[in-house]
């Protein structure tokens, strides 16, 4: 299975979705069907070329898809059928993002390198940014941590735990929260909670790096050096499909 090819196509469709969510959504559904076809063939599919729903049922029987993933795949199969047979129906930007996220999760399940496991869609903050702005962004997007970067290089990480500790400060100190910067919330152990890993590092190497008791995220760079530009980030949620 050429997971890298599918992964690259997913990233390309994310870019297209910014201008043409409906077209990107249609292509994402086609790509999902192609992926399921390849996965089914690897697991013994010998019938003629089928459809997304048929492949989903086959992969469920072969214990590749969980109940939840099978239900999602069946829903996307229904969406594809509706769009194909009813003129005027459009795939929304939100649904396109959802399908692409599902595709990326499946592809990452077979990924072998840190580059394929990492999240490329990075939002970073700088040490001098307002803490409340960073907090609001994290709450709005449902993320638990943000890389803290200065001049393109990582200085640490801001986590939801850091935010909770700030909120728990005494009431007199709490009045000044609106003036705090990201750097004021970062703990001294910020660098101990992260590690760098090379872009080509294998899956087992990624798992080994997470075995360090305090590591909550891995920063991916070309050679795994903190002096290199950040390429992506790996968190536990990126690894769960593989466990």
What residues does CATH 3.10.580.10 cover in the chain?
Answer: 131-242
- The list of the chain residues with pLDDT below 70 reads 1, 109-112, 170-176, 213, 240-243
Cα Dmax for the chain: 71
Rounded to an integer, what distance in angstroms lies between the CA atom of residue 66 and that of residue 141? 26
Give me the pLDDT at residue 1, please.
66
The whole-angstrom separation of Cα 226 and Cα 68 is: 38
Structural contact between residues 225 and 153, judged by C-beta atoms closer than 8 angstroms: no
pLDDT of 143: 86
3-state SS assignment for residue 25: helix
Specify the DSSP class assigned to residue 122: -
Number of Cβ atoms within 10 Å of the Cβ of 195? 18
Looking at residue 106, its pLDDT comes to 86
- What's residue 172's pLDDT? 53
- Per-residue pLDDT at 86: 84
- Rounded to two decimals, what is the model's pTM? 0.56
Assigned CATH for 131-242: 3.10.580.10
d(CA 208, CA 164): 29
Judged by DSSP in three states, 123 sits in coil
């Amino acid at each position: 299975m050429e997971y890298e090819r599918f992964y690259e196509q997913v990233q390309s469709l994310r870019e297209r979705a910014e201008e043409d969510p409906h077209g990107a959504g249609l292509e994402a559904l086609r790509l999902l069907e192609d992926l399921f076809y390849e996965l089914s063939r690897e697991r013994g599919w010998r019938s003629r070329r089928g459809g997304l729903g048929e492949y989903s049922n086959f992969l469920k029987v072969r214990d590749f898809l969980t109940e939840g993933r099978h239900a999602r795949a069946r829903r996307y199969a229904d969406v594809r059928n509706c769009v194909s047979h009813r003129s005027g129906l459009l795939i929304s930007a939100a649904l396109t993002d959802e399908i692409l996220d599902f595709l990326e999760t499946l592809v990452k399940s077979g990924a072998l390198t840190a580059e394929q496991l990492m999240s490329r869609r990075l939002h970073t903050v700088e040490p001098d940014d307002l803490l409340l702005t960073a907090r609001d962004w994290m709450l709005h997007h449902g993320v638990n941590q943000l890389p803290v970067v200065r001049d393109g290089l990582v200085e640490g990480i801001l986590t939801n735990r850091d935010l909770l500790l700030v909120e728990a400060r005494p009431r007199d100190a709490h009045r000044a929260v609106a003036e705090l910067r990201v750097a004021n919330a970062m703990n001294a152990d910020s660098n101990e909670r992260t590690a760098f890993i090379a872009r080509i590092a294998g899956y087992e190497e990624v798992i080994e790096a997470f075995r360090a008791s305090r590591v909550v995220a891995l920063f991916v760079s070309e050679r795994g050096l903190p002096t290199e530009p950040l390429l992506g980030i790996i968190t536990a949620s990126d690894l769960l499909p593989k466990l």
